[in-house]
Amino acid sequence: MVFYFKARPEAGDYTIFMGLDKHENEELIRYGFPEDIWFHVDKMSSAHVYVRLNKGQTIDDISEGLLEDCAQLVKANSIQGNKVNNVDVVYTPWYNLKKTPSMDVGQVGFHNPKMVRTVRVEKRINEVVNRLNKTKVERKPDLKAEREAVNAAERAERKMLLRDKKRREEMERLEKEKQAEIRSYKGLMVSEKMTSNKQIASANKSLQELEEDFMDDLLTGCDLKMGLPNKTSGMEEESLEIGMEYRTVSGVAGPLVILEKVKGPKFQEIVNIRLGDGTIRRGQVLEVDGEKAVVQVFEGTSGIDNKYTTVQFTGEVLKTPVSLDMLGRIFNGSGKPIDNGPPILPEAYLDISGSSINPSERTYPEEMIQTGISTIDVMNSIARGQKIPLFSAAGLPHNEIAAQICRQAGLVKRLEKSDDLLEGGEEDNFAIVFAAMGVNMETAQFFKRDFEENGSMERVTLFLNLANDPTIERIITPRIALTTAEYLAYECGKHVLVILTDMSSYADALREVSAAREEVPGRRGYPGYMYTDLATIYERAGRIEGRKGSITQIPILTMPNDDITHPTPDLTGYITEGQIYIDRQLYNRQIYPPINVLPSLSRLMKSAIGEGMTRRDHADVSNQLYANYAIGKDVQAMKAVVGEEALSSEDLLYLEFLDKFERKFVSQGAYDTRNIFQSLDLAWTLLRIFPRELLHPCVPFAEAVPHSDLLVVLLCYHEEAPERFDDPKHIAWCLTC
């Protein structure tokens, strides 16, 4: 039931209405009109009163008389407000009301509190209230049907306006063509309308008429119909088209510019766009359809005007200058230096799209890249030439982990004349290419400051695409970074680690371009070709036979709402060779780095570890840690159900291991570097919790580590270790432990 009232005649023909109870108010909120203004007694229980303004009017058009009628009606229908004087009545447009599922019936909020106004009602005026009650009418309207009818009428009106607009545009176009035809000179040089002296001579035989027309020789080889020299070859025709400027911009859609009447546009061709103020921007042809071309502008389309903008086609694909001097430098997302350093003297210009690697020329990734993080090096070892992502989420320390990897990453190599292993044996041949996409200024400053203060900048090439940079630039940033990495790896012989963050920002930029092109969207609005597009980035990692260098990729992406089934991590997991999972529960327990080893995986780990690369016991220790940690998590879940008293002695051992594993092995300082051998030794000290019968068959610790190293490890990690190690019985104690 809805009650309708008529406002005072001098205020105009306005209807004031309110619901019978809070349930009717819910319907009025749901099916309101943009012209409705909502009234309510502030901070008191009262009816929800509405006044419907005329179409096109706003809250500023409410007269004092109409405002008084609405305020008095609200006060009169408030149990508390009707009993007191000097109450405040708030009012705001209907579309400013906010209703969420968590709110009770009759409860509302505001989208913008600044749009809420207040009027003070000193006392109840019975004359106004009685006059309104005399006009009171009760009805049971179908609010939903009324709203749908108005929507249908508005749609019909918009369609009619659109048809009228198209009809006017078509008439204007025809009129322009007609005027252009009148002013055109193209009919003057048509060969069919021309007559040479020879044609005249064939009909008239006078000597004067028989004289040769000197224009015959001049026009030989010319195309009279076009008034241009004959095109003797396709190369000459192409050379005429390259460098031509077009002023045929027909539209701008997001980061895209649509061009018409373009001769021979080519896919991925680079264009120079000159704005009316002389500013030059670069773009790339994204789609070709006959004489139409769609160009994506790297610097954004703001300020592009159809009338004054000119576009020049260069005939070239997008290339980036590369040089060994790029190490230690900082560039923006387009590859331009931003560190106030000297310009780069390029040694080559390379296509940023790269060339696909012949599968038969690929070398299987082997040998390990050491990150200095125990959970990665021991349990998810990264091979040179591998691609393995970090799955993170908003609020997790993936930036800190990425910076730590850059500081600590290095190579592991066995010396030719010794059985010992040394870390960083080829440190001079190790480089890092770091590309950040869509990061804020604080994050960019963090990376720059961290690299510079810790001395790792000299081997890092940093590309920064900020959040306020054009979105379209994020599409080329990882490709420029990978092109630089390919030059350093395959031409300079370096082992390059490429870190890409955040690939979720890249995927969002890809979705924005796809939406601007009005393509059929895939899952969650992402384009259907995103798998192929991501593969063109990830598959550029690897090793090539006959080349000394390698490219290892660690892309970092944030999962929206911690959802690993989101298209970006889902497709990334299909392409890459494993994943490293950053866990929010570990992070909430103050464990850094919060890497959950159970969902993490390195598919190429087996080829990067073992005797001759790390240590003989590496694989067995990793498997033992996985097994015991998984059992410990199961026991922890069982403890929450049955209690600790119901657990066996073996279960308590697994709980002890679970706690020490997370506090001592997983937890690690941001500046705490552990080489692979220190991490393996630490793993052995944790496995000492269990008796031998609870461990799987593996290489004994005493056989894997020299006795001198064993004593140091036990001294560092075992609280009950003896004070002296110069006695054989003490050594025997260590070995039996």
DSSP designation for 491: I
pLDDT at position 723 is 43
- Copy the structure tokens of residue 570: 């889902």
DSSP state, 342? P
Residue 176 CA to its chain's centroid (Å): 44
The domain ranges of the chain are 2-141, 151-184, 191-229, 243-317, 358-511+522-614, 620-736
CATH architecture of the domain with residue range 620-736: Orthogonal Bundle (1.10)
Task: For residue 593, say if its preceding peptide bond is cis, omega within 30 degrees of 0.
Answer: yes
Least confident of 131-140, 197-206, 435-444, 629-638: 197-206
| Residue 257 exposed, middle or buried by CB count within 10 Å (0-12, 13-18, 19+) | buried
584 three-class SS: helix
Q: Is 109 helix (H, G, I), strand (E, B) or coil?
A: strand
Percent of the chain's residues with pLDDT above 90:
44
Q: Which residue has the tokens 């960083």?
A: 424
| pLDDT-based confidence at residue 729 (cuts at 50, 70, 90) | very low
Residue 39 confidence (pLDDT): 93
Structure tokens that stand for 292 in this block:
């139409």
**Given this model, what pLDDT does residue 53 score?**
92
HSE-up of residue 651 (Cα within 13 Å, Cβ side): 14
Nearest-angstrom CA–CA distance, 296 and 258: 9
Cα–Cα dist 57/685, whole Å? 77
In this prediction, residues 419-426 reach a mean pLDDT of 45
Point out which residues pair with 312 in neighbouring strands: 245, 272
At the top level of CATH, which class does the domain 243-317 belong to? mainly beta
Predicted pLDDT at 299: 81
Bridging pattern class, strands 269-274 and 280-289: antiparallel
User: Beta partners for 15?
Assistant: 6, 52
What's the mean pLDDT when you consider all of the chain?
83
Q: Which of 237-246, 339-348, 408-417, 516-525 has the lowest mean pLDDT?
A: 237-246
pLDDT for 242 equals: 56
* pLDDT for 36: 92
pLDDT digits (tens, 9 = 90+) for 331-388: 999 899 998 888 888 999 999 988 777 888 888 888 899 999 999 999 999 999 999 9
* Angstrom distances, CA of residue 211 to CA of 200, 204, 207: 10, 11, 7
What six digits make up the tokens of 322? 């590369």
Residue 662: pLDDT band (50, 70, 90) is very high
**H or E element in which residue 101 lies:** none
In this prediction, residues 600-604 reach a mean pLDDT of 94
Residues β-bridged to residue 137 = 4
Q: What φ, ψ does residue 76 adopt, rounded to 5°?
A: -65, -25
pLDDT at 330: 94
Reduced to 3 states (helix: H, G, I; strand: E, B; else coil), residue 388 is: coil
Please report the pLDDT score of residue 452 as a whole number.
86
Reduce the DSSP state of residue 129 to 3 states and report it: helix
From residue 39, give the alpha-carbon distance in Å to each of 3, 53, 236, 336: 15, 13, 75, 57
Query: pLDDT at position 427, please?
Result: 54
> How far apart are the C-alpha atoms of 733 and 737, rounded to whole Å?
6
Alpha carbon distance 345, 336 (integer Å): 12
**SS3 track for 686-700:** HHCCCCHHHCCCCCC
The pLDDT of residue 489: 93
E strand map for 254-407: 256-259, 269-274, 280-289, 292-297, 310-317, 319-322, 330-332, 348-351, 362-363, 368-370, 382-383, 390-392
What was the pLDDT predicted at 731? Answer: 42
**461 has a pLDDT exceeding 90:** yes
The count of residues in the chain is 737
51-60, 98-107, 445-454, range with the lowest pLDDT: 98-107
Q: Is 669 helix (H, G, I), strand (E, B) or coil?
A: coil
Query: Going by CATH, does the domain composed of 358-511+522-614 fall within 3.40.1190.20?
Result: no
Residues 6+ apart with CB under 8 A from 306: 249, 250, 251, 252
Q: Is 646 exposed, middle or buried (0-12, 13-18, 19+ CB in 10 A)?
A: exposed
DSSP string for 511-579: HHHHHHTTPPB-GGG-BTTHHHHHHHHHTT-EEETT-S-EEEEEEEEEPGGG-TTSHHHHHHHHHSSEE
- Spatial separation of the C-alpha atoms in residues 656 and 667, rounded to whole Å: 15
Cβ neighbours around 157 below 10 Å, total: 10
- pLDDT greater than 50 at residue 419: no
Q: Which of 193-207, 213-227, 385-399 has the lowest mean pLDDT?
A: 213-227
Which amino acid is located at 494 in the chain?
A: K
CA distance 263 to 279: 24
User: Higher-confidence residue: 250 or 233?
Assistant: 250
Q: Distance of alpha carbon 412 from its chain centroid, rounded? A: 34
Nearest to 605 by CA among 614, 596, 593: 614
Average pLDDT estimate for 455-459: 85
pLDDT attached to residue 186: 59
Are the C-beta atoms of 705 and 679 separated by less than 8 Å?
no
- DSSP state at residue 613: T
The reply to whether the predicted model has a pTM over 0.75 is no
Interval 217-227: pLDDT, tens: 433 444 433 33
Q: How confident is the model at residue 726 (pLDDT cuts 50, 70, 90)?
A: very low
Average pLDDT over residues 204-231: 43
* CA-to-CA separations, 426 to 412, 494, 616, 671, in angstroms, rounded: 8, 9, 21, 22
> Are the CB atoms for 432 and 499 separated by under 8 Å?
yes
Note the pLDDT tens digit of each residue in 140-158: 888 888 888 888 888 888 8
Could you check whether the bond before residue 93 is cis, i.e. omega within 30 degrees of 0? no
> What average pLDDT does the segment 247-274 reach?
87
Q: Which residue type does 64 have?
A: E
Residue 116 has pLDDT above 60, yes or no: yes
pLDDT band at 413 (very low <50, low <70, confident <90, very high): low
Strands 245-246 and 49-52: unpaired
pLDDT confidence tier of residue 187, bands split at 50, 70 and 90? low
The strand pairing partners of 276, in sequence order, are none
Residue 329's SS3 state is coil
Which position has the token pair 């006009």?
A: 135
Tell me the pLDDT band of 300, cut-offs 50, 70 and 90.
confident
- Looking at residue 189, its pLDDT comes to 54
3-state secondary structure of 716: helix
Q: Which helix (H) or strand (E) holds 707?
A: helix 707-717
CA dihedral 488, 494, 499, 505 (to 10 degrees): 20
Interval 705-724: pLDDT, tens: 444 444 444 444 444 444 44
The residue among 88, 95, 124 whose CA lies nearest residue 110 is 95
At residue 498, does pLDDT exceed 60?
yes
With 60 as the cut, is the pLDDT of residue 268 above it?
yes
Q: Stretch 312-324: mean pLDDT, rounded?
A: 89
User: Are 658 and 636 within 8 A, CB to CB?
Assistant: yes
* pLDDT given at position 192: 61
Torsion of CA 584, 587, 592, 594, to 10 degrees: -20
pLDDT for residue 307: 80
Amino acid 166: pLDDT: 85
pLDDT greater than 50 at residue 213: no
